Structure 1
Amino acid sequence: MARIPGRSLWLSAPVGLLCAAVVAALVWLAAPMVPTVVSWAGDTLRAATARAEAAPPDDPLVAALAGEAPLDCRDIYPDDLWRQLAWFPGALLAQSGAVPEIATPPLVEALAPDIRVSCRWHTRDGATLQTALAAVAPDASAAGEAALRGAGFACSALAPGLTCTRTSADAIETHVLRDGWWLVSVERGWHPEDYAGRIAARLWG
């Protein structure tokens, strides 16, 4: 192997040994701190995990019940459905506290709902999607089911909630009564795939 001009083996060997000795000394001095560092890292990770577990779940119903913030239309729509509606050509959204235009007005009197959020999408050609979420009495399901079945709705009373649906001409109306909440969706001339079901799944899983 060719030597590098100007390098002295007599000088480089002691310097190399000195460097190795310095590194070894630093490792020896740092060794007692290794358990402390490992313990600190473990405590930090455990604390972060505990905070994450203690944080309220990303569920608009939990936030509404806790009174932490008012509900927004964006809260009740799953991400994929929200994007589908927001990017639909000419679609506009109006948020309010109004009850949607349903086929069974007496149902509103029977439920006496406290509307938390009401969302109405409409297109240039007049098609609409209306969805509202309201708090109702815990025993409202019985009165709601009687009124809806009497109006020709097909109902599924599988626990823990009640779901009633009716299709008439180009309209689909769906009611979900569960855990003291009333979710109502009315589709007229615009029918995204499983519209009402996807919103219910967003709220209750």
Structure 2
Amino acid sequence: MARVGGRNAVFAWIVGVLCLAVVGVLAFLAIPLIPASVAWMGDTVNRPTGSAVADGADGEGAAGVPTECSGLYDSALWATMRFAPGSVMTPSADAPTSTAQSLVTALQPQVLFTCSWHADAGTVSTTLATVPTDAGAIAAAALPAAGFTCEAVDDRTRCARTDGELVETIEAGGGLWLSTSESAWHPAEYVRRTGDRVWG
């Protein structure tokens, strides 16, 4: 068989071996990411879609209101929380974490679930509960005296307070309560994004 001019077998072997070495190094570097990638893919596959929301599956009720922690987060925020260094999430039915205990006592929110995140950066605790339909107006009247700033956001009232590394938010509207306490750890747009999952 005639050889094609301009080709060098030795050079081709050297380039082939170098390519295999590069692929091997890349594969070795990727090995530590395999468990995290598999977990992320599993979470992504199991996240609710538009039809799942309508059917009341995967953490959301028939009206689109979350029924468990997984339904409170969009896919990107869930990944941010889940894969933060040292992150552990504990679901419970614990009472809201808040310095506004007088409001909590007055409204007596009926807790649906509480999601408590602990990571190297700090902690984030969020509670979804049911409250009387006038809870937003009560919060707007009572919380400014406790250092909160309140505003109307669409069909609900949002009150927030910052004290050093502690950021607290209480939202109420339509018979629902969503409160978040962030200590040192402040994920980007956490309050807006979880609020959109409840009232969006």
Give distance in 1, aligned partners of 2:55 and 2:90. Answer: 28
Identity %: 35
**Residue in 2 that maps onto 1:83:** 79
Contact 2:135-2:173 within 8 A present in 1 as well? no
Deviations 1:75-123 (A, max 9, x none): 1111110111101111101111112321111111111110001000012
Q: For residue 141 of structure 1, report the CA deviation from its aligned partner.
A: 1.8
Q: For residue 60 of structure 1, report the CA deviation from its aligned partner.
A: 2.7
Q: Report which of the two structures shows the higher radius of gyration computed on alpha carbons.
A: 1
Q: For residue 144 of structure 1, report the CA deviation from its aligned partner.
A: 1.8
User: Aligned pair 1:92/2:91, yes or no?
Assistant: no
TM-score normalized by the length of structure 2: 0.67
Contact 1:114-1:136 within 8 A present in 2 as well? yes
**Residue in 2 that maps onto 1:162:** 157
Aligned to 1:84, the other structure's residue is in SS state helix
**Residue in 1 that maps onto 2:69:** 73
User: Pairwise CA RMSD of aligned residues?
Assistant: 2.2
Amino acid at match of 1:106: S
Deviations 1:17-73 (A, max 9, x none): xxxxxxxxxxxxxxxxxxxxxxxxxxxxxxxxxxx7xx54778354587xxxx8211
Amino acid at match of 1:130: S
Q: For residue 204 of structure 1, report the CA deviation from its aligned partner.
A: 1.9
TM-score normalized by the length of structure 1: 0.65
Aligned to 1:193, the other structure's residue is in SS state coil
Note the 1:1-205 alignment, pairs <5 A: 55-56=54-55, 60=60, 62=62, 71-124=67-120, 127-205=122-200
Amino acid at match of 2:118: H
Q: What are structure 2's unaligned runs of at least 5 residues?
A: 1-50
